[in-house]
């Protein structure tokens, strides 16, 4: 199980930077680990936090609400 606080920090950094790789650089971890933390957080919450395409990453309304509450 991945650390929940780290997952929240990852969510915040991805939302702020607008990219998985940018968040990974800020956090000093690999993009793969950033993705794993987001996936674990999404699985715990039962919802998608970001819309991902090959060219864009945008936070969902659920992601925005969760980030505002945390």
The partner residues of 52 in beta bridges, in order of sequence, read 57
Say how far apart CA 45 and CA 53 lie, in whole Å.
Answer: 21
Residues 34-51: pLDDT tens digits?
999 999 999 999 999 999
Do 49 and 41 touch, CB atoms closer than 8 A?
yes
Residues 10-69: pLDDT tens digits?
999 999 999 999 999 999 999 999 999 999 999 999 999 999 988 889 999 999 999 998
Q: Pairing between strand 50-52 and 57-59?
A: antiparallel
Domains and CATH numbers, the chain: 4-69 (1.10.10.10)
């Amino acid at each position: 199980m991945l650390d929940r606080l780290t997952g929240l920090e990852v969510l915040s950094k991805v939302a702020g930077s607008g990219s998985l790789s940018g968040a990974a650089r800020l956090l000093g971890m690999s993009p793969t680990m950033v993705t794993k933390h987001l996936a674990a957080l999404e699985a715990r919450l039962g919802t998608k936090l970001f819309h991902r395409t090959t060219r864009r990453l945008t936070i969902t309304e659920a992601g925005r609400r969760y980030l505002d509450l945390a």
